[in-house]
A and B are shown apart, each in its own frame.
Chain A
Amino acid sequence: MINRRLANAVFAGLILTTSALASLPAMAQVVYNRGQEADPETLDPQKISTSAEFHIMRDLYEGLIIHNGQGKVVPGVAESWTSSDDGKVYTFKLRANAKWSNGDAVKAGDFVFAWRRAAAPETGAKYTNVLYPVKGLEAVHKGTAGAKPEDIGIRAIDDRTLEVTLNNPTPYFIELLTLPVAGPLHPASVTQHGSNFVKPENKVSNGAFRLREFTPGAQASLVKNPSFHDAANVKIDQVNFIPLADSAAAARRFQAGEILSTVNIPANQIKSLRQQLGAQVSVTPQLGTWYLTFNNDKPPFNDARVRRALSMVLDREFIAEQVWNGSMLPGYSFVPPGTNNYGPQIELGFKAQSVIDREEVAKKLLAEAGFGAGKPLKVEYRFNMSPENQATFVAIADQWKSIGVETTPISTDGRTHFAFLRDRGAYDVARAGWIADYNDPQNFLFLLESSAIPGLNYARWSNAQYDDLMKRAAAEVDITKRAGILGQAETILLNEAPYTPVLFFTNRNLISPKLEGFTPNPRASNPTRYMSIKG
């Protein structure tokens, strides 16, 4: 009796729910639900640092120069520019129709205001050091006595003319201007609301979209900015950036059509997803290197023979194809292929040799360094915990075992891992990665300068010749000559192996056939303004 009554109640409940299922909200607007790997930590363009934040900033703001949908450098707010003969002074002409989302004109002074704020140490901007080529900016950012914000080499000649003075000719300077930290800010709203200028009700931006709403864990929702100078060509009315840290869950939502693109694919599902989704699965090279770093403060890892031996026996193809299921590419150079302002790619010399032959050479190198059957080399391998990094450790330990090296793992969370490397923690070997901020070999090679930002040179490696080459390259105006000098530096790096490249990063996207104009490119630049949605 009781059973039947309850069954009736359950049945009634079911009917209620199914009828609720039938009522779907009507959608009049073109909405793009865009999968992201994480929430933005902040929407302040000067305090961001993650790729999820970059994607949102490309839609919210327009810099002097921008990356288009193919990752190419094209004019943004600046319609044209000239540079002085010595390559140190740039003059930008701003487009007349550049507008903020509240209708105000974008003025040269807005860039001056923004750069001074980025340089001020109290702002806490994370990317300011990429602007160090600008005259006087480094001193202000470091809080050097006597350094004044007014001395920074950026000047508004009039509302539409901006002049920037550099310390040295910097071939990648134009591309630096695509970074959000180099973009403009709306001075009135920032001054009035302070750090709350990022809130939707206060936020004034000059990109193709403006902020509608941001709920961490749910979405950052942007709507078309009618004041944008190219608004006529923006075909998407609303873009929702949806954080999906679990890439498997993201793939399921993609398959259900709830999101039209993702920025990650679970490595262990790539093969099955390719079978199900075909060309919707996209894996393309990105400008980034996954590498191992050796601690040069700690013997025997200060011995180039040991480092070389450990580098040599890594079967990079196996790691890329078997461990990462082809979601990464085998890496034989530190500066990844496709980098601008560079000559022919410089690769590890042993690339052509078979792994079996390399093992013999590596064993000899280890024997020279004093290791062998009686005295095996013991290595502690540190990594930040992820299933892929764990599997990579297992593969590497196995490959090192073939030359008699005993490897033990230490894994921590990402923050702890990188803080440990930065703070001169006593490690043996550790994994790390670098993704380019700007498309230039210097953005990779500077990591190992002994004068690099303290803590950035994880290997604590110092090589006078290398430093000298980097200094010469910085002063060289001729791009070809500079490429040659940087090439020599990379040759030293690869031979000495303080870092050894293992893999190249990739863009891993699931892209719906309904979504047009999402073109994976090495800069992972996919502004929504270049996209449209079919039917």
Chain B
Amino acid sequence: MLIYILRRLTSALPTLFVVVTLSFFLIRLAPGGPFDLEQPLEAKVMENLNRIYKLDRPLIEQYWLYLSHLATGDFGPSFYARDFTVAELLARGLPVSITIGGLALLLALAIGIVLGSIAAFRQNQPADYSVMVFATFGITIPTFVVAPVLQIVFGLMLAWLPVGGWNNGHVRNLILPVITLALPQVAVVARMIRASMIEALRSNHIRTLRSQGHLRASRCRALFRRRRIEPGLHAGDGHRGDGGGVRAGLQPDRRHSLRAARSTRQV
């Protein structure tokens, strides 16, 4: 698992490099600069600003400076909040983002696994359809629509929760953002779990055990909880036959290796 994560992260590096390079040069192609205002600055002032921010150097040298600083983790001064370096802004903002993002992920996993399992065991029954309808809404309605609706309902109409603000991470202030961020993920997780579970339910060893009367439905479910959920989470490889449609994000080779890994664990 660790090696898998490491490999994924390493394979992201070339992509990151291309993104950094492209965005560096593309932004320089666009007209306008960081010091442009409606009221133009004096030439001398502009010259000084350009010198201070090293924008007067040749482009290729700027690129090299930028890359070498990036490599040492120095993101330079912010052009948006001029009193801060990018590192300072990250230090302030990242903990907040990680808190909200992490909580949203946990919530999405918790609810998604439950809903996905319910749907799988009640396949093609009203419970399944309700979950899938919910999942479809979760995926298709963007957060910028969900967020204002939640604000209006829970912040203004019911007045249970604050409409906005961080308030040093007070629980009340976390609830709406976490729910908003989690909703689309809940839907994705639920669909993946449903799909991989349905596939596993049909697999030979389960069917054999069931046909021999070794497994009742309840035992069968217990078995699933132990063996199926984990690979299902990152693999989502149940794209066959059930219309789950969870191919997204999984490269074929990855899918293959995961399937191989899984088969070694089969009963």
A21 is an interface residue with CB less than 8 A from chain B: yes
- Complex contact B83–A43 (CB within 8 A): yes
Nearest CB of chain B from residue A42's CB, rounded to whole Å: 4
B8 is an interface residue with CB less than 8 A from chain A: no
Cα distance A49–B38 in the bound complex, in angstroms: 10
- Complex contact B83–A198 (CB within 8 A): yes
B209 is an interface residue with CB less than 8 A from chain A: no
- Complex contact B156–A453 (CB within 8 A): no
- Complex contact A418–B36 (CB within 8 A): yes
Chain B residue nearest to A19 (CB atoms) is B171
Interface code A331-369, partner B: CB below 8 Å = 1, 0 otherwise?
000000000000000000000000000000000000000
- Complex contact A47–B82 (CB within 8 A): yes
- Complex contact A124–B225 (CB within 8 A): no
Chain B residue nearest to A9 (CB atoms) is B110
> Which of B9-17, B68-76, B161-169, B243-251 has 4 or more CB atoms under 8 Å from chain A?
B161-169
B42 contact set on A, CB distance < 8 A: 121, 128-129, 141-142, 453
A425 contact set on B, CB distance < 8 A: 31
A453 contact set on B, CB distance < 8 A: 39-40, 42
- Complex contact B155–A252 (CB within 8 A): yes
- Complex contact B83–A44 (CB within 8 A): yes
- Complex contact B162–A252 (CB within 8 A): no
Tell which of B31, B84, B156 touches A256, judged by Cβ atoms closer than 8 Å: B156
B124 is an interface residue with CB less than 8 A from chain A: no
Chain B residue nearest to A48 (CB atoms) is B82
> Which of B18-26, B44-52, B233-241 has 4 or more CB atoms under 8 Å from chain A?
B44-52
- Complex contact A121–B44 (CB within 8 A): yes
Nearest CB of chain B from residue A469's CB, rounded to whole Å: 22
Tell which of B52, B89, B164 touches A258, judged by Cβ atoms closer than 8 Å: B164
Residue of A258, A415, A425 with highest tally of chain B CB at under 10 A: A415
Interface code A243-265, partner B: CB below 8 Å = 1, 0 otherwise?
01000110011011010000000
Known: A217-B93, A256-B163, A419-B32. A121 touches B82 (CB 8 A): no
A422 is an interface residue with CB less than 8 A from chain B: yes
B218 is an interface residue with CB less than 8 A from chain A: yes
- Complex contact B37–A121 (CB within 8 A): no
A513 is an interface residue with CB less than 8 A from chain B: no
B58 contact set on A, CB distance < 8 A: none
- Complex contact B162–A455 (CB within 8 A): no
Nearest CB of chain B from residue A120's CB, rounded to whole Å: 9
Task: Bin chain A's interface residue count.
Answer: 35 or more
Known: A47-B82, A121-B45, A124-B52. A17 touches B175 (CB 8 A): yes
Q: Which of B161-211 contact A (CB under 8 A)?
A: 161-167, 170-172, 175
Q: Which of B93-138 contact A (CB under 8 A)?
A: 93, 111, 114, 117-118
Q: Which of A409-449 contact B (CB under 8 A)?
A: 415-416, 418-420, 422-423, 425, 432-434
Known: A2-B225, A216-B89. A41 touches B163 (CB 8 A): no
- Complex contact A126–B118 (CB within 8 A): no
- Complex contact B152–A252 (CB within 8 A): yes
Known: A43-B83, A252-B148, A453-B42. A415 touches B164 (CB 8 A): no
A277 is an interface residue with CB less than 8 A from chain B: no
Nearest CB of chain A from residue B44's CB, rounded to whole Å: 4
B143 is an interface residue with CB less than 8 A from chain A: no
- Complex contact A126–B37 (CB within 8 A): yes
B92 is an interface residue with CB less than 8 A from chain A: yes
Interface code A384-418, partner B: CB below 8 Å = 1, 0 otherwise?
00000000000000000000000000000001101
- Complex contact A252–B151 (CB within 8 A): yes
A26 is an interface residue with CB less than 8 A from chain B: no
Residue of B36, B47, B151, B166 with highest tally of chain A CB at under 10 A: B36
Known: A3-B118, A121-B42. A253 touches B163 (CB 8 A): yes
Known: A121-B44, A256-B163, A456-B40. A419 touches B33 (CB 8 A): yes
B30 is an interface residue with CB less than 8 A from chain A: yes
A454 is an interface residue with CB less than 8 A from chain B: yes
Tell which of B36, B165, B175 touches A419, judged by Cβ atoms closer than 8 Å: B36
Q: Which of A1-40 contact B (CB under 8 A)?
A: 1-3, 6, 10, 17, 20-21, 25, 39
Cα distance A256–B151 in the bound complex, in angstroms: 10
Nearest CB of chain B from residue A315's CB, rounded to whole Å: 26
A218 contact set on B, CB distance < 8 A: 166
- Complex contact B81–A415 (CB within 8 A): no
- Complex contact A422–B36 (CB within 8 A): yes
Known: A216-B80, A252-B152, A418-B36. A124 touches B45 (CB 8 A): yes
Tell which of A1, A253, A415 touches B218, judged by Cβ atoms closer than 8 Å: A1
Cα distance A407–B223 in the bound complex, in angstroms: 69
Chain A residue nearest to B155 (CB atoms) is A256
- Complex contact B45–A125 (CB within 8 A): yes
Nearest CB of chain A from residue B54's CB, rounded to whole Å: 14
Q: Which of A132-184 contact B (CB under 8 A)?
A: 141-143
Nearest CB of chain A from residue B190's CB, rounded to whole Å: 13
B40 contact set on A, CB distance < 8 A: 422, 453-456
Nearest CB of chain B from residue A476's CB, rounded to whole Å: 25
- Complex contact B31–A423 (CB within 8 A): yes
Known: A21-B172, A198-B83. A258 touches B163 (CB 8 A): yes
A434 contact set on B, CB distance < 8 A: 38
B221 is an interface residue with CB less than 8 A from chain A: yes
A455 contact set on B, CB distance < 8 A: 40
B161 contact set on A, CB distance < 8 A: 21
A55 is an interface residue with CB less than 8 A from chain B: no
Residue of A42, A214, A215, A242 with highest tally of chain B CB at under 10 A: A215
B171 contact set on A, CB distance < 8 A: 17, 20-21
Closest 4 CB pairs of A and B: A419-B32, A143-B44, A455-B40, A20-B171
Given contacts A43-B83, A126-B37, A216-B81, 4 further A-B contacts (CB under 8 A): A6-B114, A21-B161, A252-B155, A416-B32
Taking Cβ atoms with an 8 Å cutoff, the residues of A that contact B are: 1-3, 6, 10, 17, 20-21, 25, 39, 41-44, 47, 49, 121-126, 128-129, 141-143, 195, 198-199, 214-218, 242, 244, 248-249, 252-253, 255-256, 258, 415-416, 418-420, 422-423, 425, 432-434, 453-456
